[in-house]
Amino acid sequence: MNVTRPVGETGRFEIDIAEKTYTGADGVPVSVIRDFHLQIKPQSMTVLMGPSGCGKTTFLRVLAGLDQSFDGSIDMPADTRIGFMFQEPRLLPWRKVRKNIELVADEGFTEEDMVLLADALNIADKLDVYPNELSLGLARRAALARAFATRPNLLLLDEPFVSLDEPTADRLRRLLLEVWEARPTTAVLVTHNPREAVMLADELVLLAPRPTHVLETIPIDVPQNERTPAMIEEIFSDLLKRYPENFTG
C-alpha cells in the first residue's frame, strides 16, 4: 500500500484514492473504492449520496484516518481536528451523557461551553442521565454534542438521522445546521435521503456503485437557512429530472 499524507500543503481537503480493497473471507481482494477524486471546500457542507454498499462508510473511515490501508493520498490542513458521528450513537453506557461529552472534549472546553452546546441541541436536562435512558433521537443529539465538543474543523457524519421518525429527523437536521453555522466547520455527511441532502448540502456528491468514485458534484448555491420547504422540493424535482437514476421520490 502506498499512503501519503502531505499534510497542510494546500490548506484544502484534497482526496485522491487510487484504490481501496478489502480481502473477502475467501482471501480474494474486493475493490471498494477506485479512482476517487474529491476536493472539499473548507467550511462547506458536502453531502455524499450513493447506492447501498457502494463504500460510503469505508470512504469516511479512510478520510478520518481510521483506515490507512489504501493507495492514494489525502491532503488536509495541518491542524485538522476530526469529529466523527457514526451511524449508531456509540455512547459509553456506563457514563452519564455529560461524561461522554467531557471525555472527548477539547482541552479548553468549559462548563459554559457544555451549557451552550447542550442548550443548542436541547439536551440540557439530559446531561446527568445514562445513555440507555435516552430515545434514539436524544442519543443522536448527545452524539452530535460529543462530536462538536472536540471542536472539530472536519466533522464526518455517517447517516446521522437514519431510523428516526421524520419530525425528529427534521428537528435534528435544523439543530445540526444551527450548531454548524454558529461554528464554521467543514462537514461531510453521508445520507440515503435525497431531500435531506438537498436541505443540507453546499455540494452534493453523487457516488457510483462499488467500486465507488465520484459521478457528479452538484453545487447548491442558496444558503441553507434560506431554503424553504418549497425551494427544497423545487431543487429536488429538478435533480430528479436531471439524475433519475440517483434520485428516487
Ligand X SMILES: Nc1ncnc2c1ncn2[C@@H]1O[C@H](COP(=O)(O)OP(=O)(O)OP(=O)(O)O)[C@@H](O)[C@H]1O
CA-based nearest residue to 159, from 56, 229, 9: 56
In the complex with ligand X, the residue whose CB is nearer, 55 or 83, is 55
| Single-letter code of the amino acid located at 42 | P
Nearer to ligand X, 55 or 194 (CB): 55
Please report how close the Cβ of residue 67 comes to ligand X at its closest, in angstroms.
9
List the interface residues with ligand X, window 142-201 (CB under 6 A): none
Stretch that binds ligand X, among 36-44, 45-53, 72-80, 149-157 (CB under 6 A): 45-53
Binding part of the chain for ligand X, among 46-54, 95-103, 110-118, 119-127 by CB under 6 A, reads 46-54
Cβ–Cβ under 8 Å, residues 89 and 131: yes
Q: Which helix (H) or strand (E) holds 36?
A: strand 29-40
Distance CA 156, CA 115 (A): 23
Strands (DSSP E) contained in 41-178 are: 45-49, 71-75, 82-85, 154-158
User: For the purposes of burial, counting CB atoms within 10 Å of the CB of 154, is it exposed (0-12), middle (13-18) or buried (19 or more)?
Assistant: buried
Residue 52 lies near ligand X (rule: CB under 6 A): yes
**Is the CB of 97 or the CB of 155 nearer to ligand X?**
155
CB 48 within 8 A of CB 189: yes
User: Does residue 34 belong to the site contacting ligand X (CB under 6 A)?
Assistant: no
Applying the rule CB under 6 A, the residues between 104 and 123 that interact with ligand X are none
Cβ distance to ligand X smaller for residue 71 or 113: 71
Measured distance CA(211)–CA(18) in Å, rounded: 11
Strands (DSSP E) contained in 122-161 are 154-158
Contact criterion met (CB below 8 Å) for 84 and 156 = yes
Pick from 54, 91, 127, 155: which binds ligand X (CB under 6 A)? Answer: 54
Grid coordinates representing 8? 497542510
Q: Which of 193, 200, 154 is nearest to 177 (CA)?
A: 200
Residues in contact with ligand X, counted by CB under 6 A, come to a total of 11
Q: Kindly state whether residue 32 participates in binding ligand X, applying the rule CB under 6 A.
A: yes
Q: For ligand X, which stretch binds (CB under 6 A), given 10-18, 38-46, 54-62, 129-137?
A: 54-62
Q: Which residue has the cell 428537528?
A: 171
Nearer to ligand X, 146 or 210 (CB): 210
Closest separation in Å from C-beta 177 to ligand X: 23
Site string for ligand X, 82-101 (x = CB under 6 A): --------------------
Does 53 bind ligand X (CB under 6 A)? Our answer is yes
Indicate the residue type of 40.
I
Give contact residues for ligand X (rule: CB under 6 A): 22, 32, 50, 52-58, 210
